[in-house]
Structure 1
Amino acid sequence: MATSSCPAFVSAPRAAVIGAASRAIVARRVAPTGAKRRVASTIVPRASADAPPVPAVDIPDTNDEWEAVSPVDFAADVSAALAADKVVILGKRGALRSPGFVASLPESLRTVWLEAVAAVQAGDNGGKRSIMVPWDNGGRLKDVLIGVLPTAVSRHNCPAAAFAVNALLAGCQPPAHGQTLGVITALTSTSDAVPIAVAVARHFPTYTAKSVRGGGRGGVERGRIALRGRVLVAQTCASPLSCDLDAETRARVVAVSRAVRLASRVVDTPPAAMDPDALVGEAAAVAAELAGPTHGLDVSWDALRYDALKACGFGGLVAVGDAAARDGREPALVHVKYRPSGGAPGSRLRKIALVGKGITYDTGGLQIKGKSGMPGMKTDMGGAAATLGAFKALCQLRPQHVELHLVLCIAENAVGPGAFRPDDVVTPLSGRTVEINNTDAEGRLVLADGVAYASGTLGCDDVIDVATLTGAQMIATGKNFAGVLSDDEAMERACVDAGRASGDLAHPLPYAPEFFTKEFGSKIADMKNSVKDRTNAQTSCAGQFIANHLDRGWNKADPDASGEEETEGRIRRRWLHVDMAGPATNKDGRGTGYGVALLVHLISGELYADGK
C-alpha cells in the first residue's frame, strides 16, 4: 500500500505520437509559467508537395476560449432571451398557459399564444410547432418555436421531463456568428431548473473542429475554427405566477450547466489532442481556476506519473498505460483536494472521493477490439470527465459540510511492445494480485488503484467511482440509466433519487459479493480481472471487482450493511459505483456530460446534510 510520503511530480507534457497515415500533426503548446497549465493543440493539415501553404486551424486553449466559440449564457429574466434573433419557448402545457407567464410575453405574441399552445400535440416525447410572429411593432417577423414537454412521466423518470428537451430542440442548430438564439424555459417548480437547463446546454456541444470555408483554392479555404453565435437561456417559474429564480438556484444552474459542457467537450475531443498529458492539463486548469483570484478556494492538486506510479505500487495504471508510456503518453493519477474555508479548526468533515476512469483511448490492448468496436473509444474517459466537471461545480457552490477529493485514473490502453498480456499477474495498490485474462477489461484495473488510494492513502469516508465500464450495463439498465452498485442502502437510494431530480437517471444493480466474487477465481493469483460466466450479472461483477480493492479495513467492524453509524462512534464508510457506459454519449456519439448533475445533486442532498 502506498503512503502519503510517496513522491508526487508532474511530467513535462510530451508531443503526441501519431501514425504515419494520420492526416494531422499535433504540435503541443503549454501556457507560460504562472499561467493556467492547459495542454492544448493546433491541428496542422498536411499539404501535398505542389500545394500552397495551408493555414493552421486554431483550437481554443482554455474553457473560456471554448465558451467564446460556442457560448451558452444565462439571462436573469426572459426579456433578454425574447430579444434574440430566434426564440424557443419550452415548458409543460400548464406552465406555458399560466397567467403570469403569458403576461411576460410581448403583446404581439401574447395575442396568439394560448391558441398556439393548445394546437401543439404532445406525446410521450412532447410536441412542438413553429409560428411566425410580428415583432417590433410589426416591423419584422420572428420565428418562435413552441415546445410542450410531457405532462406526466413514469415513476423511474425525471419529473421535469428533461429527457424530452433534446427531441424538442432537434433541428435547432447553434446560431450563426453574430446572432443569438433565445431559449426560455417555463418551469412548474424551481426544482426543475437544473435538469431542464442541463438538457438545453448539452444540446449545444462545445467541441468542434469544423473550419471556416470560403472562396480559396477549389472553393474551399481553411481558416480558424468556425465561430458560432450565442445561445441565451432564461428560466422562469411559471406556476402560479411568473417569477425569476432565486440567486442560489441560478448559481447552481450556471455552475452545473457549464460543468456539463466542460465534461462533454473533454469526451468529444479527439484522442490525439486529449491524451493523458492533456487530461492532466484539464484537471490542473480546473484546480488553478478554483484556487485563483476569481474563486479563492482552498484547492490543491498534484499528479503521479509513470516512474512515481511504478515506485509507489500503482500496478493497474502502470500495466494498462505501459505501451503508450513508451511512446511518451504516460499514465497518471491526479489528486485534487477541496477543503471549505471558515470551518472550526480541527473540525471533522466527511471526506468524499470522486474517482474517475480516464482511459483516453481504449484499443482493447492485445485482445484488440474489432473495426466496429474501436471507433468511439475516445469516450472511455467519460467517468473522469464527469467527476472533473462535478468537482468543479461543487467547489463553485462552496459546500461547507464536506471535504472533497478528486482522483483521476488516467491511461491509454494501447497496443505495443510494452502492452500487458493475458496471463500476466498485476499487483494494484491494494496488494491483491490479479491474473489478466482480458486486456479489454482495463478500466477496472486503473480504478482498483484509484479506490485503493482514496480509501487507504487518503482515508476517505465515502468512495464514489464513476466509469464507462461495461457494455453489459446497457443490457442491464439501458442507454438512459446508469447502473449503480453500493454496499450501503441509503447511498444507493440517495443516488437513485438524485438521478430522478437531476435528469441523470440511475438504477440499482444487485449487490451480493457472495454471488459475484467467485466469478474472478484464479489458481495462481488472488483473482482474475474478468468473469468466468458472462451471463451472471456482468455489470455487478465488474463493480464488485473494484470493491475488492478498497482498503482492507473497509467496514470490517460493521455488523451489517444497514448504513447506521457504529455504536463506538466511528462513521460507517460507504462505497458507490456508477457504470455510465450507456448515458455517457448520445445517439450521435457525442459526449453528454452525464454524471455531473447526478453527483452534484447527490453530494448537495439530504444524504450529506450537516456532514453526516
Structure 2
Amino acid sequence: MAFPLPIAVKAIQASDTQHDLSIIIGQSLSSKVFPALTPILLDVKQYDPRVGIEPVLMPADTLPGGRCLFVPSGELDRDYDDVRRFFDIGKAIAKQLVHIDALNPLVVLELDEENLLHDAQYRYALENVYLGMCQQLWQPLEARQALNEDDIEPVQSVGLYGLKDSDVMMLRAMEEAKRLTRDLCGTEPERMAPIGFASYCQDTFADSQVKVEIIDDIEAMRAEYPCLYAVARASLDVSRHHPRVINLTYEGEGPIEQTLFLAGKGITYDTGGADLKVGGHMAGMSRDKGGAAAVAGILKAVQLLKPKGLRVYASIAAVRNSIGADAYVPDEIITSHAGIRVRVGNTDAEGRMVLTDILSHMREQAQMSVSPQLFSFATLTGHAAVAFGPYTALMENKPALLENVSQNIIEAGHLWSDPSEQSLVRREDYDFIKPRTKADDVLSSNNAPSVSTVRGHQFPMAYLSIASGLDKHDARSHLPLPYTHVDIAGSAVENLDWQHGKPTAASVSAFVASYILPRIHTSSSAENEH
C-alpha cells in the first residue's frame, strides 16, 4: 500500500538533497524560518501579483530543492474558519505537485505566533495539510491495479518541519487507516463484492493483533442473523455475491479499561431490492459500504498504534441488496436475533436491517464487557445529507449522552478535519416506528424516501435500538449500554457525488483521535517519565 510517507524534519539546510521542493505556507510575505526568502517573494510579486493570493512557484537557491511553492494561508480568524482551511490547502498543494514533478517535498508552516497561542483549533494544522495532500493524491484501487501505481501516485514522501518522530508515526497510521477505508468504500461492486471485501480484510490484518473471523455459512446466517439473511436472499443465486459477516477483534496489552463495539453497514451494492432504485438513483451505490469501510479503517489504526487497555470488537455485514425472485419484500415480518418481530416497510431501507442482528450480538457481548460503548456506522439516509450536508450525523441513546460520547467525537473531529453534528433522537422518532397491529413489534421504515420524511435520519436510530434489543438497556435499566449511531451518508464521499466523488474516510480521524491517540499519548508520557 503505497502513499506519501510523512517524515519528521527537525532542522533545515539549503544543502538538503532529500527534498526536491520547499513548500512554505504563510500568512505574510515575511519568512522567519527562511529570512532569505522574503526579498525573493517581494521581488517576484512585482511581476506576478498572484504572490500572497494563490500558490506560486518560484526559484529559491537557498531553500531545499532550489525552488519554492509559496502558499498563502488566507484568513483564519473569522467565526466560521476551522482547521479544514489547512486540509484544503493540502489538497491545493497536491494538485500543484502533479504538474511540477515534485516527488519528495518539504512543507513548512509559518503562522503568526499570536495566532498559534490563541487558537487551539489549529494545533494540528500541519498534520491536516499532510492529510489533505493524501486525500487529493489517492487514486482508486482499480486504477492502481490496472496502471503503474508509481505513475499515477508519484509522490513518495512529505517532509513536515517541526514534527517529532512520534507525531509522524501516529500521522502515518491515521493516513494508512483512511487509505484502507477509501479503498474498501470506493472500489467497484464486483471487485469488492462481499467475498472480496472479506478477503481484503483478511489480507489487511493477517499476522497482526487483529483477529479475523469470517462467517460464510448461509444456514448459520439464517439462524443467527435473520434480518441480514432476508436482505441477502436475492443474492444467493449468484455465488460470488454471497453475504459475509466479518468479525475483527483487538485486545490491547494490560488490564482492559474500555471496550468498543463497532458495527458496520457493508452493502456492497444497493439496487434497492424489490423497492428498486429508479431514475438513475442506483449509480454510486457501490459506495453504500462506507460504514463498513470506516469500521475496518478504525481497526487498521488500532492495529498499527496498538493502544493499551483497549478492546475493540468490530462486526461488518457485507451484503449485496439484489433484486430477484427471492427478494425480501415490504410487509414481511421477520423476527430478529433479539426476538423482535420486524415488519419490513421498504426494502431500500436495508442498511438498518443488516445492522439489526449485528448490534444484537454485540448487545450480548457488551453486557459482560468493561466500560462498553456501542456504535453503528452507515451510509444510511439521504436525509442526513440534506440536514447536515458534508457533516457526519451522530445520534445517541441517553446512556451515551450521559457519557458525552458525541460531544467528545465532535471535539476531536474539529481538530482533524472530520466534523460531525449531534442530532438528538426524540419521542417522535420512537412513535414513528411503533407497530400498527399486534402482528409485529416494530416497523423498519415508512415507504417514502428519507429525504421527504420528517426526521428521516433520526427515526432509524430508534428502530435500531428496538430491533436489536438495545432499548432494554436504556438509562433506567439495571445495565445501561451507551449506543451511538453514526450516519455518514452526507460525509462519506466528496461533494455528495456518489458515483465519482472520492471517498473521504469520514469518521475515521475523529474516532482515532477520540479513542486511540489519547492512549498513545498517555503511554508515551509514562514511558518518558521512566
1:274 corresponds, among 167, 171, 192, to 192
Change (3 A) 1:149 1:443: farther
Structure 1 position 530, deviation (Å): 0.8
Q: Is the 8 A contact 1:264 1:591 kept in 2?
A: yes
CA distance in 2: counterparts of 1:309 and 1:203, whole angstroms? 42
Alignment of 1:252-291 (within 5 A): 252-289=170-207, 291=208
1:129 corresponds, among 47, 55, 66, to 55
Q: What corresponds to 1:417 in structure 2?
A: 325
Structure 1 position 471, deviation (Å): 0.5
CA distance in 2: counterparts of 1:375 and 1:496, whole angstroms? 31
Q: What corresponds to 1:437 in structure 2?
A: 345
Change (3 A) 1:552 1:253: closer
Q: Is the 8 A contact 1:520 1:530 kept in 2?
A: yes
Q: What corresponds to 2:129 in structure 1?
A: 196
Q: What corresponds to 2:442 in structure 1?
A: 527
CA distance in 2: counterparts of 1:476 and 1:355, whole angstroms? 23
CA distance in 1: counterparts of 2:24 and 2:273, whole angstroms? 46
CA distance in 2: counterparts of 1:413 and 1:179, whole angstroms? 44
Letter in 1 for 2:442: M
Pair 1:350-2:258 in alignment = yes
Pair 1:74-2:6 in alignment = yes
Provide TM-score, normalisation by structure 2. Answer: 0.82
Change (3 A) 1:250 1:173: closer
Structure 1 position 247, deviation (Å): 2.9
Structure 1 position 201, deviation (Å): 1.1
Change (3 A) 1:133 1:364: same
Superposed CA deviations along residues 368-400 of structure 1, whole A, max 9, x for unmatched, are 112421111111111111111111112321211
Pair 1:477-2:388 in alignment = yes
Q: Percent identity?
A: 20
2:459 corresponds, among 517, 541, 545, to 541
Structure 1 position 163, deviation (Å): 4.6
CA distance in 1: counterparts of 2:419 and 2:21, whole angstroms? 29
Alignment of 1:276-425 (within 5 A): 276-289=194-207, 291=208, 297=209, 299-328=210-239, 329-341=241-253, 343=254, 347-425=255-333
Pair 1:186-2:109 in alignment = yes
Secondary structure of the corresponding residue to residue 539 of structure 1: coil
Letter in 1 for 2:57: I
CA distance in 2: counterparts of 1:415 and 1:518, whole angstroms? 31
Change (3 A) 1:254 1:327: same
Q: Is the 8 A contact 1:92 1:150 kept in 2?
A: no
Q: Which range is displaced more, 262-271 or 453-462?
A: 453-462
Q: What corresponds to 1:518 in structure 2?
A: 431
Q: Is the 8 A contact 2:94 2:137 kept in 1?
A: no
Q: Which runs of 5+ in 2 are unaligned?
A: 111-115, 117-121, 524-530
Let me know the Cα RMSD of the aligned residues: 3.5
Q: Is the 8 A contact 1:89 1:144 kept in 2?
A: yes
Change (3 A) 1:116 1:303: farther
Pair 1:505-2:419 in alignment = yes
Provide TM-score, normalisation by structure 1. Answer: 0.72
Q: What corresponds to 1:148 in structure 2?
A: 73
1:245 corresponds, among 163, 167, 170, to 163
Letter in 2 for 1:600: V
Change (3 A) 1:86 1:468: farther
CA distance in 1: counterparts of 2:358 and 2:26, whole angstroms? 43
Q: Is the 8 A contact 1:451 1:549 kept in 2?
A: no
Letter in 2 for 1:197: Y
CA distance in 2: counterparts of 1:429 and 1:505, whole angstroms? 34
Change (3 A) 1:97 1:440: farther
Change (3 A) 1:434 1:159: same
Q: Is the 8 A contact 1:305 1:333 kept in 2?
A: yes
Q: Is the 8 A contact 2:123 2:415 kept in 1?
A: no
Q: What corresponds to 1:468 in structure 2?
A: 379
Structure 1 position 102, deviation (Å): 2.5
Q: What corresponds to 2:527 in structure 1?
A: none
Q: Which runs of 5+ in 1 are unaligned?
A: 1-63, 213-221, 237-243, 292-296, 561-565
Structure 1 position 357, deviation (Å): 1.0
**As a proportion of its length, which structure holds more helix?**
2
CA distance in 2: counterparts of 1:319 and 1:395, whole angstroms? 33
Letter in 2 for 1:93: Q
2:494 corresponds, among 579, 583, 586, to 586
1:496 corresponds, among 390, 406, 410, to 410
Q: What corresponds to 2:27 in structure 1?
A: 93
Letter in 1 for 2:429: F
Q: What corresponds to 2:140 in structure 1?
A: 207
Secondary structure of the corresponding residue to residue 337 of structure 1: strand
Letter in 1 for 2:7: A
1:601 corresponds, among 498, 513, 516, to 513
Q: What corresponds to 2:40 in structure 1?
A: 112
Secondary structure of the corresponding residue to residue 174 of structure 2: helix
Secondary structure of the corresponding residue to residue 267 of structure 2: strand
Pair 1:172-2:96 in alignment = yes
CA distance in 2: counterparts of 1:211 and 1:392, whole angstroms? 20
Would you say how many aligned residue pairs link Structure 1 and Structure 2?
491
Q: Is the 8 A contact 1:470 1:539 kept in 2?
A: yes
Q: Is the 8 A contact 2:346 2:447 kept in 1?
A: no
Structure 1 position 609, deviation (Å): 10
1:235 corresponds, among 144, 148, 160, to 160
Secondary structure of the corresponding residue to residue 494 of structure 2: coil
Superposed CA deviations along residues 343-365 of structure 1, whole A, max 9, x for unmatched, are 1xxx4532111211111111111
Q: Is the 8 A contact 2:176 2:300 kept in 1?
A: no
Superposed CA deviations along residues 75-127 of structure 1, whole A, max 9, x for unmatched, are 22286998588647364516x8562x335xxx5x45424777996688xxxx5
Q: Is the 8 A contact 1:87 1:183 kept in 2?
A: yes
Secondary structure of the corresponding residue to residue 214 of structure 2: strand
Superposed CA deviations along residues 285-330 of structure 1, whole A, max 9, x for unmatched, are 23215x1xxxxx3x31202124254353201211111212220111
1:452 corresponds, among 354, 360, 379, to 360
CA distance in 1: counterparts of 2:373 and 2:420, whole angstroms? 19
CA distance in 2: counterparts of 1:360 and 1:80, whole angstroms? 50
CA distance in 2: counterparts of 1:486 and 1:336, whole angstroms? 23
Secondary structure of the corresponding residue to residue 385 of structure 1: helix
